[in-house]
């Protein structure tokens, strides 16, 4: 506990050893699936309803309590968590986070070696996914902020000076598919473009944005006096994993002079694989792209990478001259002059460590295994009586539904089934709607997931459906 007049831990070596025993035990529980999700008990509720503590407590006891609370929390690191596109907590990334928190470097202003770690990590990601050169960028706290940052730069290029003057009555628009992530609409709202100015375009049978409709929408807006800010192509939609036609959209953007941003928060790491790489042709012509490393590069949250073709576009959007951040004598601007944040942890370190410790080849192999597991799941769904697969998997997301009992409403049946599977706790799937049809959705982005875990999806759903019906 704390000594008098100080916040330093007494016997900190023993406390650190205790903490890392808890970490190791957590890792061990992630190595294989457990039979269900434990529920909150009275002791948790009492602990988490206690008033502000004035007196100190033994740090080992408090760490044990924290670990106990986390054990009854939903962890996306578990191998049968298929509900969302989330982190699977690469172990070296956890250690990287501990190192970063210990040193508490701020990479908002020039920070020596930390700046080079971030720059190198950005370059490695660009090479890994095939973004091509020139390439620059930065690390962001999540895909929403990374997308917002890129679209702020696109807005400044489309309407120079808008950051200073505001829109001043000039209508603007963004273009994406109707299955793009809601962060695009949120960015339009925050940037003053307006959520209603997001042109959510139809998708074809392959669930990709209609390229011709995109070109037509841009041309129609220009005739009406609306400024096109950017086309946002999705490289792996959250719902089905669809990858838009990047090459076709790059042609449109080059011809019409519009910024092309690729939201690859989920799917872009698959561009590194032989199995799916061809789907991302045209990425090297994009103006910007985002990758959430805490999704399919397996590191802990939060670690998003924004890739940009021209870093000057970010500087034109975010740089300031302030007395408390001098620029005199500097060859380059501070990192804060390219981003929204003024306090930035070194998020790049855990991804830098992952590439150094495991190597790009091993990470690529893990992604390919997840892609293959999605095909295994699709085949299992096709073979299971009463199951219907709703789309061909392009990446690692699979949506399916189960036929209802005679006379039951299919929509209500599948919605209830999703809730029942969640209560069962052996696996976790996401309830979803595809073309207005309630269904179940599994997304496989975990390096711990085995083929046995994938087979459990159909087995558990069928078992829960039988028990629910009875």
CA 184 remoteness from chain centre: 13
Structure confidence at residue 3 (pLDDT): 47
**Residue 255 to residue 231: CA distance in whole angstroms:** 13
Task: Specify whether 106 is located in the same domain as 230.
Answer: yes
Residues 235 and 304 in one domain: yes
Q: Which domain holds residue 70?
A: 12-78
Is 196 inside any structural domain?
yes
The 10s digit of each residue's pLDDT in 114-129 is: 999 999 999 999 999 9
| Closest to 76 measured CA to CA, from 270, 298, 240 | 298
Residue located via tokens 């200073």:
164
On whether residue 31 sits in a domain, the answer given is: yes
The verdict on 323 and 444 lying in the same domain is no
Same domain, 149 and 279: yes
Q: Are residues 109 and 230 in the same domain?
A: yes
pLDDT digits (tens, 9 = 90+) for 357-367: 999 999 999 99
376: closest CA among 297, 433, 457? 457
- Of 299, 331, 358, at which residue does a domain stop? 358
User: For residue 134, what are the contacts with CB-CB under 8 A and spacing of at least 6?
Assistant: 309, 310
Residue at 146 is within a domain: yes
Mean pLDDT by 10 residues, the chain (470 residues): 67 95 95 89 96 95 96 91 89 96 91 93 98 94 96 97 91 98 96 97 95 98 98 97 98 98 98 98 98 97 96 93 68 82 94 98 98 98 96 96 87 89 92 90 96 97 89
Examine the domain organization and report whether 458 and 371 are in the same domain: yes
Sign of the CA dihedral running 190, 195, 199, 200: positive
Whether residues 215 and 230 share a domain: the answer is yes
164 with 140, same domain? yes
CATH code for the domain of 258: 3.40.640.10
Q: Locate the DSSP E strands across 55-142.
A: 136-140
Q: How many domains does the chain have?
A: 3
Q: Is 414 in contact with 436 (CB distance < 8 Å)?
A: no
Residue 4 maps to a domain: no
- Residue 36 has what pLDDT? 87
User: Are 390 and 354 in the same domain?
Assistant: no
- The residue among 358, 391, 419 that closes a domain is 358
Is 92 within the bounds of a domain? Answer: no
Helices within 6-112 (DSSP H only):
12-30, 42-47, 59-71, 91-103
Question: For the segment 245-267, what is each residue's pLDDT rounded down to a tens digit?
Answer: 999 999 999 999 999 999 999 99
Tens of pLDDT, residue by residue over 140-183, are 999 999 999 999 999 999 999 999 999 888 999 999 999 999 99
Residue 304 and residue 368 in one domain: no
pLDDT of amino acid 331: 66
* pLDDT for res 344: 92
Tell me: do 325 and 232 sit in the same domain. Answer: yes
Q: What is the phi/psi pair of residue 139, to 5°?
A: -100, 140
pLDDT of residue 408: 85
Whole-angstrom distance, CA of residue 251 vs CA of residue 248: 5
Please tell me the number of Cα atoms within 13 Å of 215 on its side-chain side.
12
- Say if 84 falls within a structural domain: no
Residue with tokens 């049809």: 437
What is the chain's mean pLDDT, rounded? Answer: 94
Are residue 418 and residue 450 in the same domain, yes or no? yes
Whether 458 is covered by a domain: the verdict is yes
**Burial annotation 436-453 (CB, 10 A radius, 16+ → b, else e):** eebbbbbbbbbbbbeeeb
448 belongs to a structural domain: yes
CA–CA separation, 452 and 15 (whole Å): 38
Convert the pLDDT of each residue in 267-294 to its tens digit.
Answer: 999 999 999 999 999 999 999 999 999 9
- φ, ψ of residue 241 in degrees (nearest 5): 75, 15
């Amino acid at each position: 506990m704390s000594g008098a007049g100080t916040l330093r831990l007494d016997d900190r070596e023993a406390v650190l050893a205790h903490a890392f025993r808890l970490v190791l035990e957590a890792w061990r529980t992630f190595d294989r699936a457990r039979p269900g999700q434990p529920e909150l008990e009275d002791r948790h509720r009492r602990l988490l309803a206690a008033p502000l503590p004035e007196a100190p407590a033994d740090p080992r006891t408090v760490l044990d309590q924290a670990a106990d609370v986390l054990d009854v929390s939903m962890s996306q690191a578990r191998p049968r968590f298929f509900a969302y596109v989330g982190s699977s907590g690469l172990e070296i990334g956890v250690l990287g986070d501990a190192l970063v928190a210990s040193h508490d470097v701020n990479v908002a202003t020039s920070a020596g070696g930390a700046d080079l770690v971030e720059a190198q990590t950005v370059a490695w990601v660009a090479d890994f996914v095939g973004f091509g050169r020139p390439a620059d960028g930065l690390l962001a706290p999540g895909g929403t902020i990374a997308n917002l940052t890129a679209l702020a730069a696109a807005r400044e290029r489309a309407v120079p000076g808008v950051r200073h003057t505001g829109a001043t009555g000039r209508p603007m628009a963004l273009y994406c598919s109707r299955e793009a992530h809601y962060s695009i609409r949120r960015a339009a709202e925050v940037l003053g473009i307006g959520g209603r100015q997001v042109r959510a375009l139809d998708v074809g049978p392959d669930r990709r944005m209609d390229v011709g409709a995109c070109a037509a929408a841009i041309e129609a807006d220009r005739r009406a006096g609306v400024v096109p800010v950017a086309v946002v192509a999705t490289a792996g939609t959250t719902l089905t994993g669809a990858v838009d036609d990047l090459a076709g959209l790059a042609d449109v953007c080059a011809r019409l002079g519009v910024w092309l941003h690729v939201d690859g928060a989920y799917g872009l790491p698959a561009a590194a694989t032989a199995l799916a790489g061809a789907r991302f042709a045209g990425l090297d012509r994009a103006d910007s792209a985002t990758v959430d490393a805490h999704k399919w590069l397996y590191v802990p949250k939060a670690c998003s990478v924004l890739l940009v073709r021209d870093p000057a576009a970010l500087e034109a959007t975010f740089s300031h001259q302030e007395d408390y951040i001098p620029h005199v004598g500097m060859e380059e601007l501070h990192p804060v002059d390219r981003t929204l944040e003024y306090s930035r942890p070194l998020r790049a370190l855990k991804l830098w460590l992952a590439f150094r410790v495991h190597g790009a080849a091993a990470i690529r192999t893990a992604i390919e295994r997840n892609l293959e597991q999605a095909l295994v799941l699709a085949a299992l769904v096709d073979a299971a009586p009463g199951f219907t697969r709703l789309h061909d998997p392009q990446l690692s997301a699979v949506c399916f539904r189960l036929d209802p009992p005679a006379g039951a409403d299919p929509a209500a049946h599948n919605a209830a089934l999703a809730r029942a599977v969640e209560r069962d706790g052996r696996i976790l799937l996401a309830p979803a709607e595809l073309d207005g049809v309630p269904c179940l959705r599994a997304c496989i982005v975990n390096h711990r997931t085995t083929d046995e875990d994938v087979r459990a999806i159909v087995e558990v759903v069928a078992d829960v459906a039988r028990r629910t019906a009875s």
